[in-house]
Amino acid sequence: KAGVTQTPRYLIKTRGQQVTLSCSPISGHRSVSWYQQTPGQGLQFLFEYFSETQRNKGNFPGRFSGRQFSNSRSEMNVSTLELGDSALYLCASSLRTGAVFEQYFGPGTRLTVT
Partner 1 sequence: AQTVTQSQPEMSVQEAETVTLSCTYDTSESDYYLFWYKQPPSRQMILVIRQEAYKQQNATENRFSVNFQKAAKSFSLKISDSQLGDAAMYFCAYRSGNAGGTSYGKLTFGQGTILTVHP
Give 1's DSSP letter.
Answer: -
Number of residues that bind partner 1 (CB under 8 A): 26
2 binds partner 1 (CB under 8 A): no
Report the SS3 class of residue 83: helix
What is the smallest separation between the CB atom of 47 and partner 1, expressed in angstroms?
Answer: 9
45 binds partner 1 (CB under 8 A): yes
Near partner 1 in 47-106, by CB under 8 A: 48, 50, 55-56, 58, 88, 90, 92, 97-100, 102-106
What is the smallest separation between the CB atom of 16 and partner 1, expressed in angstroms?
Answer: 27
How far apart are the C-alpha atoms of 114 and 112, rounded to whole Å?
6
CA 21 to chain centre: 7
Name the nearest CA neighbour of 64 among 26, 34, 24, 23: 34
Three-point CA angle 68, 69, 71, nearest 5°: 120
Residues that bind partner 1 (CB under 8 A): 31, 33, 35, 42-45, 48, 50, 55-56, 58, 88, 90, 92, 97-100, 102-108
